[in-house]
Amino acid sequence: MITVLRIGHRPERDKRITTHVALVARAFGADRILIDTRDPDLERNFESTCERWGGKVTIKSGTKHREAMKSFDGQIVHLTMYGEELHKAIATLDPAKDTMIVVGAEKVPREVYELSTINVSVGNQPHSEVAALAIFLYTFHGQKMPEFVDGKMKIVPDPRGKTVMELETPDD
Amino acid sequence: MITVLRIGHRPERDKRITTHVALVARAFGADRILIDTRDPDLERNFESTCERWGGKVTIKSGTKHREAMKSFDGQIVHLTMYGEELHKAIATLDPAKDTMIVVGAEKVPREVYELSTINVSVGNQPHSEVAALAIFLYTFHGQKMPEFVDGKMKIVPDPRGKTVMELETPDD
């Protein structure tokens, strides 16, 4: 079970970046998304994506990061450009354990570093928490992404154009 | 030589996402960033990151995508959730050739599909152009990220906290 915890979310400023974080979490195999600041709009948008495209990924905003981290029974990975090199870090993690991945915005409180099992970097250069989360999950899962079989539509990979299958469901 | 072309950029709405695209392009080994809509603020911010952290990555906004794609002498990869599966697509590309990677925002004109050598997807699920660019470049480069040796500061990977080296330069 993989939880992604997004901290430092400011609904006015971060709606799009946090939406990208949530969609990446889902597409790269997380099961649960927690966001510190309450943002019902963002929850609704994410849930509507899940309805269309499938998957049982849950989202909940308004979760205090300290409590969530302290009460988490498993390993906690904090993604930061200051952390341990990705592959070295992953070698120390147990893929069978419940894992929480903490993704910060601009300023991350010191205690987040301390409450984490390990701080991990995807390159020690400034880039993007969206990219860091994608690369971490993709690498942690052996370069595999989950399939979603219960969506209302499905894309057939196409090198030249768009091929979308609409899957009928009884209540459509 | 790798060029990233960001299309559909709206300075009011997309400044942060396009900034993430540009920072990911730099951190994952692109040489040049082109953005369709003129945005001098975004250029300045990106250039100031390059000054602090190093690298000779250039950025230019106000480039028409049609002309840029038509006049490009090399292979053009358009990242889209509708495209060919990543690993199959990369197997058809020549790593020695100049490569342009086109990253769209919400709506991408049909001609972009047609002007590209190949349309490539990082999973056929909705997520993020920032994540797609990072995964594409990381995979294309054999999971290596470039080192930047001419920055004013350098991070030493640290599993527990922050270790930053300030590198003195004669004009500091």
Residues A18-36: what's their mean pLDDT? 98
Angle, alpha carbons A69-A101-A126 (nearest 5°): 120
Q: What is the pLDDT of residue B171?
A: 55
- Nearest CA to B134 out of B29, B4, B33, B24 is that of B24
With a cut of 90, say whether residue B28 has pLDDT above it: yes
Beta bridge partners of A77: A101, A118
- Nearest CA to B21 out of B168, B3, A89 is that of B3
Summarised one tens digit per residue, pLDDT across range B117-151 is 999 999 999 999 999 999 999 999 999 999 999 99
Look at B27 and A127 and tell me if their CB atoms are within 8 Å.
yes
Q: Which residues contact B158 (CB under 8 A, 6 or more apart)?
A: A82, A83, A84, A119
CB within 8 Å of chain A, chain B residues 6-35: 16-17, 20, 23-24, 26-28
Look at A155 and B82 and tell me if their CB atoms are within 8 Å.
yes
B51 touches chain A (CB under 8 A): no
What is the SS3 assignment for B158? Answer: coil
With a cut of 80, say whether residue A11 has pLDDT above it: yes
Instruction: Quote the pTM value.
Output: 0.96
